[in-house]
Amino acid sequence: MPMNSGQTVFRQLLQYLPRHEFNVCVSRYRGEHWAKSFSTFDQFLCLAYAQMAGRESLRDIQTCLNSHQEKLYHIGFRGDVSRTTLADANERRDWRIFQDFGQILIGIAQELYKGDPLAIELKQPLFAFDSTTIDLCLTLFPWAEFRKTKAAVKMHTLIDLRGSIPTFVAITTGKVNDVKMLDKMPVQEDAIYTMDRGYVDYARLYSVHKQGAFFVIRAKDNLKFKRLYSSPKDKEECIRADQVITLVTKKSKKGYPERLRRVSYVDKERNKRLVFLINNFDIPAKTVADVYKQRWQVELFFKWIKQHLRFKTTQHSVFALHFSTDS
């Protein structure tokens, strides 16, 4: 490993960014159209530094960066950093520049981790989809009204479980029903998507099926079905049922007209019986339960987000919320 030549940690991290791809994103949305001295890359550096260093406000960002004025040029800054300039850029510059560049970075990360083994024996890509609610101040965020005296947003997140990489994040107001985000979730052919029962919508799940992907989802307690045939149980693996079924109610059968697989599993750790619906008839029943257990990685991501990204207080995070809700 080469020795550190006196560069800051921030500068060393920036060396891994594909600058050409960033410039392509800027050109795509005319990011420099109105800029005089504060470039899109200057803005990106400010926001990246703010999150990494845990800065509390735009003034805090300005003060901290300008206290190292002699190093800013070597880091990559070409314009002066001021609170008003950064606020103006956050308000006016197209958020899609950073969204597109983020997707490029996600693709690079996925390529680096594609050979890593999962916690379970599975060759296919495996994703988990879930959401978390982030409380906000109703006075500061009136557009995010959740209840009469409370504001909130929901972060809907798709995690690539091979590397725990968030590949899709959509921020909506707290009132948006989780299941509606299945319409926005990107679907990759032959991949498996695991979700909680809040995403049970048979028409939307059938759309995932028709795109050549698979799902593992908890069934609701009121599931009505007709059993076509059963596979042998494996009680040592805590499998209580492995069945091929069809849905029987008029609405559910219209939404999902094909066969489904129903697996009943007993989680001994929690002493709880779980029932899953799957459109994959090949993977072992125990693997179905193991796939669902991998959802805990989404919870870890949400915990990290709430600990490190200061949604309630920082003005630079307000910008992140702002550009996501406009999409």
Q: What is the pLDDT of residues 86-107, one digit of tens each?
A: 888 888 899 999 999 999 999 8
Instruction: Please tell me the predicted confidence (pLDDT) of residue 315.
Output: 36
Q: Please tell me the distance from the alpha carbon of residue 166 to that of residue 186, in angstroms, as a whole number.
A: 12
Q: Please tell me the distance from the alpha carbon of residue 170 to that of residue 109, in angstroms, as a whole number.
A: 19
252: which 2 tokens?
């559910």
Instruction: Please tell me the predicted confidence (pLDDT) of residue 225.
Output: 96
b/e map 154-191, b = 16+ CB within 10 Å: bbbbbbbbbbbbbbbbbbbbbeeebeebbeebebeeeb
Q: Please tell me the distance from the alpha carbon of residue 157 to that of residue 150, in angstroms, as a whole number.
A: 22
Among all chains, which residue has been given the structure tokens 């693996």?
A: 237
Query: Which stretches of the chain score pLDDT less than 70?
Result: 1-6, 309-327
For residue 323, give the amino acid letter: F
Instruction: Please tell me the predicted confidence (pLDDT) of residue 274.
Output: 95
Question: Length of the chain in residues, anyone?
Answer: 327
Instruction: Please tell me the predicted confidence (pLDDT) of residue 255.
Output: 97
Instruction: Please tell me the predicted confidence (pLDDT) of residue 146.
Output: 81
Instruction: Please tell me the predicted confidence (pLDDT) of residue 5.
Output: 55
Instruction: Please tell me the predicted confidence (pLDDT) of residue 94.
Output: 92
CA distances (Å), 107 to each of 18, 39, 101, 163, 237, in order? 12, 25, 10, 12, 36
Instruction: Please tell me the predicted confidence (pLDDT) of residue 160.
Output: 93
- Whose CA is closest to 102, among 172, 167, 30? 167
The H or E element that residue 302 is part of is helix 296-308
Instruction: Please tell me the predicted confidence (pLDDT) of residue 157.
Output: 94
Instruction: Please tell me the predicted confidence (pLDDT) of residue 197.
Output: 93
